[in-house]
Amino acid sequence: MDLRQLQAFLAVVDHGGFTAAAKATHTVQSNISTHVARLERELDATLIDRSTGRPTQEGEAVLVRVRRIQNELSSLESDVSSLRGSPRGLVRIGIIGTTARWLTPILVDELAAIAPDIQLVVADGTTRSLELRLLDGELDLGVVSLPVDDPEIVTEPLFTENHIVVGPKDHPLARSNSEVGLDQLAQYPLLLAAPGTPFRQEVEEVFRKAGLRLKAKMEVDGLRLLASMAFQGLGVSIVPATAAPGWIGGPWTRIPVSGLSRRTVGLAHRRRGMPTVAAQTVDDVVQSIINARAPDVPGLQLAEI
């Protein structure tokens, strides 16, 4: 087994077939086919379905390992280059949408000043999707809602954030002109985060302890989209403070609410594997930004470690 075989297999998967893989890697199809066939013989398994160009069940298992090997090779090159000067290399960070809105511009500027040779790729997603991409090796770091229960992911709290309620200005809750309680919220169908997400679990736990149950009008896997539904008048929604910034105008309002806890946002990475010098640099810069800027963002507070 050699790297050429693994690279050929990965190219077939990533480009959807042998012909496309050959074009993408600037070689002939027979070379790709030969390398993949040799890998299959060594593993005594069919890795690519020739009729579809997609990995078989055995191929999917091999794919996870091959991606990790590829990432480690890239990390090796990055670390050696970093020893000769400023940190360099590709760093892929996933950030939940509500935090990405204010953190990403600052992160890009800080890295440009401190480590201009780092190539940063930022992925916007839900905590659930970013967890999976961390585990698959597609991301080096993640800024996600906590808790994350997977034992293969290590997390560190960064900040906590207020939960608020937003909704149309003509909704009965908005017309009260005063703070609303959990018992009032429980009377109405709400726009809610998707079941099983950390944010939904936190909110459900608060209501459960109060002896109340949530009524779902709609469930959305994505807090920015959830807030957008409320902005468009589709109902009342419970969201983190940064999902409904005060500068957004329109026929909706932020409704004061009592009894809701705070969301915790943290930095996550895979338990296995050593982070590159470049990834550790990004980690340090993110924490520095949070420590310096989070107290100035409405609704945020540094986490107690």
pLDDT tens digit sequence for 74-83: 666 656 655 6
CB 192 within 8 A of CB 237: yes
pLDDT tens digit sequence for 225-272: 888 888 888 899 999 888 877 655 677 888 888 888 888 999 999 987
Whole-angstrom distance between the N-terminal and C-terminal Cα of the chain?
46
- CATH class in words for 161-261: alpha beta
List the structure tokens of 261: 């806890």
The predicted model gives 19-38 an average pLDDT of 89
Domain layout of the chain by residue ranges: 3-62, 80-158+264-302, 161-261
Q: Inform me whether the pLDDT recorded for 288 exceeds 80.
A: yes
Fold of 3-62: Arc Repressor Mutant, subunit A (1.10.10)
Place of tokens 């480009």: 15
Encoded amino acid at 51, one letter: S
Same fold, 80-158+264-302 and 161-261: yes
Spatial separation of the C-alpha atoms in residues 39 and 8, rounded to whole Å: 9
In this prediction, residue 94 has a pLDDT band, given cuts at 50, 70 and 90, of very high
**Domain 80-158+264-302 belongs to what architecture?**
3-Layer(aba) Sandwich (3.40)
Spatial separation of the C-alpha atoms in residues 138 and 141, rounded to whole Å: 9
Q: Write the DSSP assignment of 133-191 as a string of letters.
A: HHHTTS-SEEEEEE----TTEEEEEEEEEEEEEEEETTSTTGGG-S-B-HHHHTTSEEE
Spatial separation of the C-alpha atoms in residues 34 and 11, rounded to whole Å: 13
